[in-house]
Chain A
Amino acid sequence: MSMTRKFNSSLLLWLCASAFFLSAVAARSESGDMKLHAQLIWGTNEPKSPDPKHKLVGKELEKKLKNSPFKWEYYFEVSDEKFNLPLQKEKTVNMSKDCAIAVRNLGGSVVEFRLFGKGKLVNKITQPLPKGQILVEGGNADNATAWFVVLKSIDD
């Protein structure tokens, strides 16, 4: 009988410790800030951008975009900004003269992403954005080119 009690006590201890650990990990995730990277990208089939400040996007992002239905030969980064976003906080980023985004950290890696054009709200999307995944909004631009706003959750 004493063996049974001892076993039960040990089992209970381990289970409680495991539950505490899982809860702690979950709580840490819940309370964590997000570090985000927003990019305004121009997609074109021309190998050179008229603006020398533009640089080609990274290979990883290029590969992702080229694997999508929205294919262009070259993707130039027009502007970008990395920022921290605490839980339940919102950050507005001006990507260009007429393009701005507002991002809110809803917790659990879920973001609310709003896109503004000339100060008007164009689109709002709420979705999980764990590290490594990207959220892209895009549209047509002049001369069969395209614009993209890319939001990515990155490591600290």
Chain B
Amino acid sequence: MNTEQQLKLQAFLDGELPEREARDVAAWLAQDKDATALLMELRNTRQALGGFEPEIRLPETREFYWSKIQREIQRLEPATPKKEAVPFSFWFWRLLIPAGAAALLAIAGLFAFLKLNPSSNPGAEMATMLADANPVTYRDQAEGMTVVWLSYPAEKEFTANSSGGRLP
């Protein structure tokens, strides 16, 4: 007996075969002992399994039963907390404090920079008091040197040293 024949016996047992095929199977069962034995075995198995299926009857309708479960699930879900209204003062101080501190630091930094960095001070001012001094200014940033070259004194005045003579 092949698989197709076994399936046909199963369908016969379940009453799924057309009438003509059912008659053919019945004739086949009358002649074949193996087929009859298999049919009996299948029938016994179905009866055995059917006897153990619990049949639970709901006390209410199916829709009402599931709606109760749905309501219970909804009840147990944590309620989404409502957003508290944030007061304006909170945002005011939250922004003002860092902004104020940053401004304070910037002012202090600028103040320190101006005081500690002389090059940020206003540039050199020069006033020549004698008309024939004709100053020429030379600046060497790399050497950190400013030279003011004066045509005054005409030769001899500054070169007189403390002993009365001229330099040296």
Contact = CB atoms under 8 A, between A and B. Distances in A.
Nearest to B108: A19
Instruction: Give the 6 A-B CB pairs with smallest separation, nearest first.
Output: A128-B118, A127-B124, A19-B108, A15-B101, A133-B144, A26-B112
Contact of B148 (A49, A128, A136, A140): A136
A155 B97 CA distance: 41
B109 A22 contact: yes
B168 A138 contact: no
A137 B143 contact: no
Interface string A103-124: 0000011100001011011111
Contacts of A78: 161, 167-168
B69 interface: no
Interface of A: 4, 8, 11-12, 15-16, 18-20, 22-23, 25-26, 29-30, 42, 44, 49-51, 54, 63-64, 67-70, 76, 78-79, 94, 96-99, 108-110, 115, 117-118, 120-130, 132-142, 145, 147
Interface stretch (B31-39, B49-57, B128-136): B128-136
B130 A147 contact: no
Contacts of A130: 118
Contact of A110 (B107, B121, B148, B150): B121
Interface string B112-139: 1011101101011111111001010010
Contacts of A70: 138, 147, 149
A146 B147 CA distance: 13
Contacts of B164: 97
Contact of A15 (B104, B144, B155): B104
A11 B108 contact: no
B129 A124 contact: yes
Given A97-B162, A120-B129, A127-B123, A11 B146 contact: no
Contacts of A18: 105, 108
Given A11-B101, A120-B129, A125-B124, A25 B116 contact: yes
A30 B153 CA distance: 36
Given A25-B112, A118-B153, 19 more contacts: A20-B108, A22-B105, A22-B112, A23-B111, A30-B115, A64-B140, A70-B149, A115-B150, A120-B130, A122-B129, A122-B133, A128-B118, A133-B146, A135-B146, A136-B145, A138-B147, A141-B158, A142-B166, A147-B167
Contacts of A79: 161-162
Contacts of A125: 124-127, 148
Most buried by A among B105, B107, B109, B123: B105
Contact of A12 (B101, B147, B148, B155): B101
B146 A136 contact: yes
Contact of A19 (B104, B156, B161): B104
Contact of A126 (B97, B107, B112, B124): B124
Contacts of B162: 79, 94, 96-97
Contacts of A147: 158-159, 167
Contacts of B104: 15-16, 19
